Structure 1
Amino acid sequence: MQALSNPESRNYARIAGALYLTIAVSGGFAIAYVPEAINVADDPAATLANISAMRGLFLAGIGGDVVMMLSEVLITVMLFFMFRGVSPTLSGMAALARLSMVAVMSAMLFFSAAVFTLATDASFLSGFTAPERASLAELFTYLDAVGVWIWQLFFALHLVLLGILILKSGAYPRLFGYGMTIGAIGYALDSLYAFALPEVTLLGLARIGLLAIVTLSEVGFALWLLLRGPRVSDKTAAA
């Protein structure tokens, strides 16, 4: 595609922005909406019953995950080439961190598949009693949550590096760079809070504030890519 031939062009940036927004929509649906509609806290049997009753919604959530992950692979490559001229090393590090996040997300689909099978196939592990099957589903759901805590660490590293690249590039508003670099810590704090320190109220509040900052920065950057694109240098304009 001609639009992908020049990473400094506005058409290239628009495609990247569209991918970013695709990730936001599909990820919000799969990660936030579907679990909220199906999962019942501290009641795995009820969660299994909901999955069985709402198979379409659960599978749509998996579909959203797939769309998000495929878009993540594409945006990772595009961001690498967008910022390779700023710093090949930092751009490569950022790309590897984001791809590592996608690898963890992909592995998490195994747990989703296991829970879906427990909920919809009575012959699967038929030697187990209903409470035992529910306990297994609870374990897989917990491991899925652990996967979130892991990929957030890789994503935090990616956002710090991407924020630095934005600051060094001069092609985008520096506010986005500062917001990503500082706000990315919220993802790391969220993992720490959920896994090890849920009783530390101050930590919980800090992660909420930082996550709000990084989310606004990411959305702002995506919209800027889609609507404005990079500041065109004299060399690019001449070309």
Structure 2
Amino acid sequence: MAVFSDPLSKPYARLTGIFYLLIAVFGGFAILWVPSQLQVAGDAGATMVNLVERRGLFFAGVGGEVAILVAEVMCTAMLYFIFKPVNATLSFAAALARLSMVGVMAGMLFFSVAALGVAEGSLLPSLANEVRAEVATALLYVHDAGVWVWQVFFTLHLMVLGWLVAQSQRFPRLLGYLMIAGSAGYLCDSLSAFVWPDAGGLALVTGVLLALVSLAEVGFALWLVIRGQRTV
């Protein structure tokens, strides 16, 4: 396909930006909205009922996560070739970090499917309903906890990508510096959720950094789609 033949062209950059934006759209749906509709905090029984009675929404969420994985693979490969001329080693490191994140995200899906199987009784059918609800909820927790793992890899990816953006002369330096500055927000979020859940100061810092890096990522994706990339 011709669009994939020239990583320094504007059509190539625009397609990369589309994949980046698709990740954001599907992520908002599958990672944020769907769980908020199915999981009831502190009520394993209600969560199990939602999984069984709203399995269509559950599978839509799984489908959204699969779509994220596909878009991530394409985006990762295309970003690697865009920034390879800037620094081949760091571009490859950024790609490896992002693909490591994708691997964790793929593994998380097994726990989602297992949770539905337990809730419906196709897995561990001899369990009492109360126990089944607790097991299904625990499996969903493990799935969600995977976010704390992949965010570590994504922190590394964004730090390196931000440097590449800033040094490329093909994109606004400010976007790269914002990526670098805000990338630690993902790592802080993992630490806040798992290591120091009661640290209010860390949660505040995390919120600021995540807002910063989200602005940078969306801005970068929109720049790719709208402006493409400058010719150096």
TM-score under structure 2 normalisation?
A: 0.98
1:118 alignment partner in structure 2: 118
Q: Identity percentage over the alignment?
A: 50
Quick one: which amino acid aligns to residue 35 of structure 1?
Answer: P
Task: State the shift of 1:145 in Å.
Answer: 2.2
Cα offset for 1:130? 1.1
Describe the superposition over 1:118-139 as per-residue Cα deviations: whole angstroms up to 9, x where unpaired: 223x343121111111121122
2:154 equivalent to 1:155: yes
Change (3 A) 1:46 1:4: same
Residue of structure 2 equivalent to 1:236? none
* Correspondence for 2:76: 76
Matched, 1:144 2:143: yes
Q: Which 4+ residue blocks in structure 1 deviate beyond 3 angstroms?
A: none
Q: How does 1:82-101 map to 2 (within 5 A)?
A: 82-101=82-101
Answer whether contact 2:48 2:137 (CA < 8 A) is retained.
no
- Alignment deviations for residues 85-106 of structure 1 (CA, whole Å, 9 cap, x no partner): 0000100000000000000000
Q: Which runs of 5+ in 2 are unaligned?
A: none
User: 1:34, CA displacement in angstroms?
Assistant: 0.1
Moved more, 138-147 or 18-27: 138-147
Distance 1:232 1:123, change over 3 A: closer
Cα separation, 2, equivalents of 1:8 and 1:21: 19
| Paired AA for residue 216 in structure 1 | L
Counterpart residue type for residue 33 of structure 2: Y
Q: Deviations over 1:173-221 (max 9, x none)?
A: 0111011111010000000000010111000000000000000100000
Aligned to 1:201: 200
Runs of 5+ in structure 1 lacking a partner? 234-239
- Aligned positions of 1:185-224 closer than 5 A: 185-224=184-223
Amino acid at match of 2:18: A
Name 1:60's counterpart in structure 2. 60
Instruction: Give the whole-Å Cα distance in 2 for the aligned partners of 1:123 and 1:74.
Output: 35
- Give the secondary-structure state (helix, strand or coil) at the position aligned to 1:184: helix
Instruction: State the alpha-carbon separation in 2 of the partners of residues 6 and 209 from structure 1.
Output: 37
Flag the 1:123–1:75 CA change in 2: closer, same or farther, 3 A.
closer
Q: Is the 8 A contact 2:114 2:123 kept in 1?
A: no
TM-score, normalised with respect to structure 1: 0.95
Alpha-carbon RMSD: 0.8
- Tell me how far apart the structure 1 counterparts of residues 127 and 52 of structure 2 sit (CA, whole Å): 18
* 2: CA distance, partners of 1:128 / 1:53: 19
d(CA) in 1 for partners of 2:192, 2:141: 15
